[in-house]
């Protein structure tokens, strides 16, 4: 019984430590304070070399039809706070050259400052020759199941 108790505590602590760090209000404040304003009242775009490297690497790994990345431009910062969830991310628009197409294309990339990870909900669509957002619909679990 004692071994089972110790094992369950060890397992619980492993599961808790394996979870992503929850975003705190302080994280939101830090990100907002990092935004700068120019004399015209416009937000100065974030141009961080490390974030740009992560975005380039992400595109090279996920989008095999992209020949090269041209420009990485900061687009926006979004926060979400509710009693059940909190998240924030920066959106970047990336100009890329896709194999077999003369014109440059644009790809939307999200950067999570909490986890320092890059992701995108866009996939290449050959029919329209553009990156299209893939919307994942999660089915709600039945309350009485």
As a whole number of angstroms, the distance between CA 96 and CA 74 comes to 15
How far apart (Å, rounded) are the C-alpha atoms in residues 44 and 34?
A: 10
Structure tokens at 16: 């808790």
CB 48 within 8 A of CB 55: no
pLDDT tens column, 10-55: 545 544 444 467 777 777 777 767 788 888 888 888 888 999 999 9
Gap between the Cα atoms of 46 and 77, Å rounded: 10
Write down the residue that tokens 């020759």 correspond to: 129
pLDDT in tens, 64-91: 999 999 899 999 999 888 888 888 899 9
């Amino acid at each position: 019984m004692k071994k089972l108790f110790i094992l369950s505590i060890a397992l619980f602590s492993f599961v808790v430590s394996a979870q992503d760090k929850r975003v705190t209000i302080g994280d939101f404040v830090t990100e907002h304070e990092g935004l700068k304003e120019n004399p015209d009242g416009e937000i100065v775009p974030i141009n961080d070399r490390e974030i740009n490297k992560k975005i380039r690497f992400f595109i090279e790994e996920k989008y095999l039809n992209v020949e090269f990345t041209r420009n990485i431009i900061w687009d926006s910062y979004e926060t979400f706070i509710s009693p059940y969830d909190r998240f924030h991310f920066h959106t970047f628009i990336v100009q890329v050259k896709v194999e077999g197409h003369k014109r440059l294309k644009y790809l939307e990339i999200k950067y999570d400052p909490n986890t320092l990870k890059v992701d995108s909900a866009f996939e290449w669509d050959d029919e329209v020759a553009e990156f299209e957002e893939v919307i994942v619909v999660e089915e709600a679990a039945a309350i009485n199941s």
